[in-house]
Amino acid sequence: MLPVLLLALSHLYIGWRIAPQLPGPWAPGLLVALLLASAVLVPAAFLGRRSRQRATADRWTWAGMLALGLFSMLLVLTLLRDIVLLVALPLAQFLPPLAGPSAIAVPLLALAGSLWGLAGARRTARVRRVDVPIAGLPAALQGFTIAQITDVHVGPTVKRPYVQAIVDTVNGLRADAVAITGDLVDGRVQDLHGDVAPLAGLRSRHGSFFVTGNHEYYSGADEWTAQLRSIGLRVLSNEHVLLQHDGARLVMAGVTDHGAHHFSPAQRSDPGRAMAGAPADAGLRVLLAHQPRSAEAAADAGFDVQLSGHTHGGQFWPWNLFVPLQQPFTAGLHRLRQLWVYTSRGTGYWGPPLRLGAPSEVTHLRFVAAAA
């Protein structure tokens, strides 16, 4: 009940601060009507997912998530407006009137931002090319490539055509391996198996590798790992495989999600266990770990590179400002001792179909010898 109460109070706050300042007879009423619809649609999106009719549930989710995105923009902009008005209060006699124009700006900017963010979320992720310098990289592994996809969140608003477009993009890269670093799904196998089916068409020299994210555990991790194995993905659960590449050896390892032990103690994430038994002379040691905060343990275990997701790069402002409270890295390539950590902004989206300032990506990582 508390989330519903807070949601209602937040809608009331926006209406109280903005509607009375809008001009004309229609604008205040339109905003109030919009806020009332939003206050109903947002919780209905979550309740509607319980419907046995998947098409009905998906429609409710679409409507509610669009409303949630617009509401989020309205709330943030209303708060910013009030801060600006408070700061400007001592100077009010020297400034033009701000209350009316700023009130008009809030819904207009929120609507524009929501539409721009929707376009950013629904487009096929673009390729982001990243070179990772590795000290002592064998010549045979010079230019070895991995195509990384992560945080697709196949579910009520991300369906088969969206996934197929990602697969087509990945296959166009002709990578040596494909890495899927968790949060692939948001829902049950029985509802979504057809939507993830295009992943069977992923093509690379050494195959496709998958590790669980936190959302797999919300959706039935055991069922999903079995399903993904059945369509040709290699699921790495605190283990590694050894890839032979032009005479050189590469360790491809993967761990369960950082918080998997909260769902099953046997699923505890363990980079050390994933490295156990790996040959000391391997030319490159790569770990797939959904959350960047696995990095400390990965560095301790002796990996050269960790590929992660989870953060979505913040997905849209201002939530990117809060990512560092939980994760050591928000996006991009970073160094932790001898370990390189690449954190993808994600290939899909979660919740509101919005991406602002954090574009989705299919990451094309190329390993190169570090300069002496």
Q: What is the pLDDT of residues 256-267, one digit of tens each?
A: 999 999 999 999
Length of the chain measured in residues: 372
Report the pLDDT value the prediction gives residue 193, as an integer from 0 to 100: 96
Q: Residues 368, 134: contact at Cβ < 8 Å?
A: yes
- Rounded to whole angstroms, the Cα distance separating 270 from 276 reads 10
- pLDDT(79) > 70: yes
Chain center to CA of 76: 21
Q: Residues 121, 360: contact at Cβ < 8 Å?
A: yes
What would the two tokens of residue 242 be? 């050894």
199 contact partners, CB below 8 Å, separation of at least 6: 163, 167, 180, 208, 228, 231, 232, 233
Report the pLDDT value the prediction gives residue 54, as an integer from 0 to 100: 78
- pLDDT(53) > 80: no
- pLDDT(51) > 70: no
What would the two tokens of residue 18 be? 């903005």
Report the pLDDT value the prediction gives residue 88, as an integer from 0 to 100: 84
- Rounded to whole angstroms, the Cα distance separating 275 from 301 reads 7
- pLDDT(48) > 70: no
Domains and CATH numbers, the chain: 2-122 (no CATH), 126-369 (3.60.21.10)
- pLDDT(17) > 90: yes
Give residue-wise pLDDT tens across range 229-255: 999 999 999 999 999 999 999 999 999
52 contact partners, CB below 8 Å, separation of at least 6: none
Q: What is the mean pLDDT of residues 217-237?
A: 96
What is the CA angle 205-210-215, rounded to 5? Answer: 155
Nearest Cα residue to 253 out of 321, 314, 177, 358: 177
Report the pLDDT value the prediction gives residue 187, as an integer from 0 to 100: 92
Cis omega (within 30 of 0) on the bond before 324?
A: no
Q: Residues 170, 328: contact at Cβ < 8 Å?
A: no
Q: What is the mean pLDDT of residues 350-365?
A: 95
What is the CA angle 323-327-329, rounded to 5? Answer: 90
- Rounded to whole angstroms, the Cα distance separating 311 from 319 reads 10
Give residue-wise pLDDT tens across range 268-326: 999 999 999 999 999 999 999 999 999 999 999 999 999 999 999 999 888 888 898 99
3-state helix, strand, coil in the chain (%, to 5): 50, 20, 30
CA distances from 80 to 84, 86, 91 (A): 6, 10, 18
C-alpha dihedral, 191 to 193 to 198 to 202, nearest 10°: 140
Concatenated DSSP letters of 128-182:
EEEEEEETT--GGGTTEEEEEE----BSSS--HHHHHHHHHHHHHH--SEEEE-S
DSSP one-letter code for 212: -
